[in-house]
Amino acid sequence: MRDVLRIEDLVLKFRGYTGVTEVLHGISLNIRAGERVALVGESGSGKSVTARIVLGQLQELRSAQVQGGLYFEEQDLNRLSRRQWHALRGTHMSMIFQDPTSSLNPVFTIGVQFTEVLRRRDPKLSKEAAAKRAGELLNSVSIHDHARVLNAYPFQLSGGMNQRVAIAMALANHPSLLIADEPGTALDVTVQAQTLHLMHDLVERTGTAVLFISHNLGVVREFADRIYVIYRGRIVEQGPTQAVFENPRHAYTRALMAAVPRITGGGVPEIQDMDGAFFDPLEVHGEDRP
Amino acid sequence: MTPLLSLKNVSKTFGHGDHIVQAVRDVSFDVMPGECLAVVGESGSGKTTLANMILGVFGQSSGELWFDGKPLPTRRTLEHRSAIQLVQQNPLSSLNPKRSVGASVRLGLDVYGIGSPSDRWSLVEAALEEVGLPRDFRKRPPAALSGGQRQRVAIARALACQSRLVVLDEPTSALDVLVQARVLRLLNDLRAAKGLSYVFITHDLSVVRNVADRVAVFKSGQLVECAETGAIFENPREDYTRQLIGAVPVVTREEIELRNTLATEGQT
């Protein structure tokens, strides 16, 4: 099957006052059409910067140096002009952020922001047609009082509602890749569960591939088909979700799983301090790692 | 045994006229000395309002609060204020960025007059050591610390002033799982060592399962269920509690089974 996204040996460095810091040490991953892939790791491991690189936003930063292959639907992203890359965002690839109340613009109503998104694909779309289309999209995320929501400002809606609006907007132009950066973290557990279910069904129906970024292993288990575990800018383990959860092979993955408190009880897990084995390459991938 | 904290028919309303919001309705429960009571519920269920009343940020609209066998006035004495302390959710914003870590911890000691002024720095250092931070961290600004370390400072600050009851408002939800496990372990150890009581506010039921003795489930300001932790998870009485447990993202197969059995029981 064809890859929607392929990242090859991606290296990211930041130039700062104290010299150059390497943040990603050569990560490779691929996402096939319609596949839900999760990138799991702690804060600071390089999850979100990877997403920003795919969107082409970090490359615009003067202090960032990005090297490595980026292929989106068989086109080499590195060869695109800024303008071409800009045209891809919001149409062929889109993103959902962690905190919906701050990712939506507070000074425009939802309706205005929806029209803007829809006009990225079809600039001549009339206001009425946009409103109609927005209504259909809101239906798909189980929001049924369209008129109220479209005329509301983001701060007038609840967090869960805003996140559903953000999901509808992200999928409005039928992107082939959706990047979801911790989409449930800012919501409380019940709302998070509802939102993720909804998103799961929706991407399944539209056949959208998803790069799901999260630190929550439980959420990942329910959402993803395949996972990559990232630790300090290196991918330490990858595989189908079921296999990785049933039989984690890398020391870091095991520690990450052991650290999650269980609802079946058993007390607070005991965690060893930074284990040297976290840096050990996994034997199966030993040959392609330094 | 007299409960350390006890709430008797406590209610809180905000606003007036047509815009009344009843944030907490007729809530009664006890917290025993050395006990960890978890308060769970969705956002907007009144958890934080409850915490603010216990801390004395504002008074209750009706009902009574008792602390250690005596009524707790809305206007708190220094003694009450030092005995009931708070650890907040986000350590990035709960520490003053312009104060060194040590100065933040010391402030409480100065205000409550704990120890003689010349001893206070050593009390601060002892408090930092208790939460597993090196003594010389006292001179660092919060910006030089990681999220987990900052949360440890917030805990040290709450404990340094000889508190007996600590209100933990989502103390680990801003932390990564590995850090969360360490902070939870620290909280457990400190409670056992010092005989503290916790009111542990959270919406993460997997954390509750492993740290709390009893659980109080809140829904739109009301206490819908309050029982021992084991009973809540193995045999919840309320559908709402079932829903909350069902929403927890889980990792192992046993957990998925537990959730499924709860879900099927709920339907019958």
Q: Tens digit of pLDDT for each residue in A40-89?
A: 998 888 998 999 999 988 888 889 999 999 999 989 999 998 889 999 99
Three-state DSSP at B168 gives: strand
Spell out which residues of chain B touch residue A230, defining contact as CB-CB under 8 Å: none
For residue B159, give the nearest of B179, B201, B138, B187 by alpha carbon. B187
Convert the pLDDT of each residue in B99-137 to its tens digit.
999 999 999 999 999 989 999 999 999 999 999 999 999
- Kindly report the pTM of this predicted structure: 0.85
How close A180 gets to chain B, by Cα (Å)? Answer: 17
Q: Which pLDDT does position A251 carry in this prediction?
A: 87
pLDDT score of A276: 63
**Burial class of residue A280 (count of CB atoms within 10 Å of its CB; 0-12, 13-18, 19+):** middle
d(CA A84, CA B59) in angstroms, rounded, equals 59
Q: Under a CB-based contact definition with an 8 Å cutoff, are residues A182 and A215 in contact?
A: yes
Total tally of structural domains belonging to chain B: 1
Instruction: Name the residue in chain B with its Cα closest to that of A43.
Output: B176
- List the single residue in B with minimal CA-CA distance to A220: B249
- Residue type at B76? R
The distance of A248 to chain B (nearest Cα, Å) reads 12
Residue B254, min C-alpha distance to chain A (Å): 7
If you search the block for the tokens 């007390």, which residue do you land on?
A267
- Which of A161-165, A272-276, B56-60, B97-101 shows the lowest per-residue confidence on average (mean pLDDT)? A272-276
pLDDT digits (tens, 9 = 90+) for A108-130: 999 999 999 999 988 999 999 99
The span from the CA of A53 to the CA of A64, in Å, is 10
Q: Among A216, A246, A268, select the one facing B181 at the smallest CB separation.
A: A268
**Is it the case that residue B215 has pLDDT exceeding 60?**
yes
**Over the Cα atoms of chain B, what is R_g?**
19
Rg (CA), chain A: 20
Q: How far apart are CA A46 and CA A176, in angstroms?
A: 23
Q: Which two tokens stand for residue B232?
A: 């809540």
The mean pLDDT of B176-192, rounded to a whole number, is 90
> Is the pLDDT reported for residue A287 higher than 80?
no
Residue among B179, B180, B206 minimizing CB distance to A262: B206
CATH number of the domain bearing residue B79: 3.40.50.300
- The packing angle between helices B120-130 and B101-112, to 10°, is 120
Q: Answer whether B244's CB lies under 8 Å from B40's CB.
A: yes
Looking at the domain assignment, is residue B211 inside a domain? Answer: yes
Contact B250 A218 (CB under 8 A): yes
| Torsion angle of the four alpha carbons B230, B233, B234, B239, in this order, in degrees rounded to the nearest 10 | 140
Contact B244 A190 (CB under 8 A): yes
Q: How confident is the model at residue A273 (pLDDT cuts 50, 70, 90)?
A: low
- Which tens digits make up the pLDDT trace of B220-242? 999 999 999 999 998 899 999 98
Angle, helices B177-194/B147-160, rounded to nearest 10 degrees = 20
B119 inside domain: no
Instruction: Assign B17 a pLDDT band (cuts: 50, 70, 90).
Output: confident
What is the nearest CA distance from B40 to chain A, expressed in angstroms?
Answer: 11
Domain assignment present for residue B159? The answer is no
* Distance (Å) from the alpha carbon of B176 to chain A's nearest alpha carbon: 6
pLDDT at A193: 87
Residue to substitute from B40, B180, B251, interface A, most A β-carbons within 10 A: B251
Q: Which residue of A has its CA nearest to B45?
A: A188
Domain housing B38:
5-90+164-265
Mean pLDDT of chain A: 88
> Closest Cα of chain A to B6: distance in Å?
27
B196, part of any domain: yes
Angle at B219 between CA B217 and CA B221, to 5 degrees: 105
Other Cβ atoms within 10 Å of B50 Cβ, number: 27
Torsions phi, psi of B27, nearest 5? -100, 130
> Residues A127-157: pLDDT tens digits?
999 999 999 999 988 888 889 999 999 999 9
Note whether A215 contacts B250, CB cutoff 8 Å.
no
Residue of A nearest to B207 (CA): A261
The shortest CB-CB distance from A263 to any of B185, B203, B205 is to B205
Q: Is B16 exposed, middle or buried (0-12, 13-18, 19+ CB in 10 A)?
A: exposed
Write down the pLDDT at residue A99: 84
pLDDT at A275 > cutoff 80: no
Domain assignment of residue B125, yes or no? no
Chain B contact for A200 (CB, 8 A cutoff): no
All structural domains of chain A, each given as residue ranges with its CATH number in brackets, are: 3-247 (3.40.50.300), 251-290 (no CATH)
Give B-chain residues touching A218 at CB under 8 angstroms: 206, 248-251
How far apart, in whole angstroms, are the C-alpha atoms of residue B30 and residue A64?
55
Interface contacts (A, B; CB < 8 Å):
112
| Residue A28, pLDDT above cutoff 80 | yes
ipTM of the complex: 0.79
CB contact under 8 A, B248 and A255: no
Contacts of A259 in chain B (CB under 8 A): 177-178, 180-181
| Residue A139 C-beta-side C-alpha neighbours within 13 Å | 6
Residue A281: predicted pLDDT: 60
Whether B252 maps to a domain, the answer reads: yes
Number of Cα atoms under 13 Å in the Cβ half of residue A129: 8
B25 residue type, one letter: R
Phi, then psi, of A135 in degrees rounded to 5:
-60, -45
pLDDT of residue A284: 44
Per-residue confidence at B176, pLDDT binned at 50, 70, 90?
A: confident
* Predicted local confidence at residue B16, as pLDDT: 85
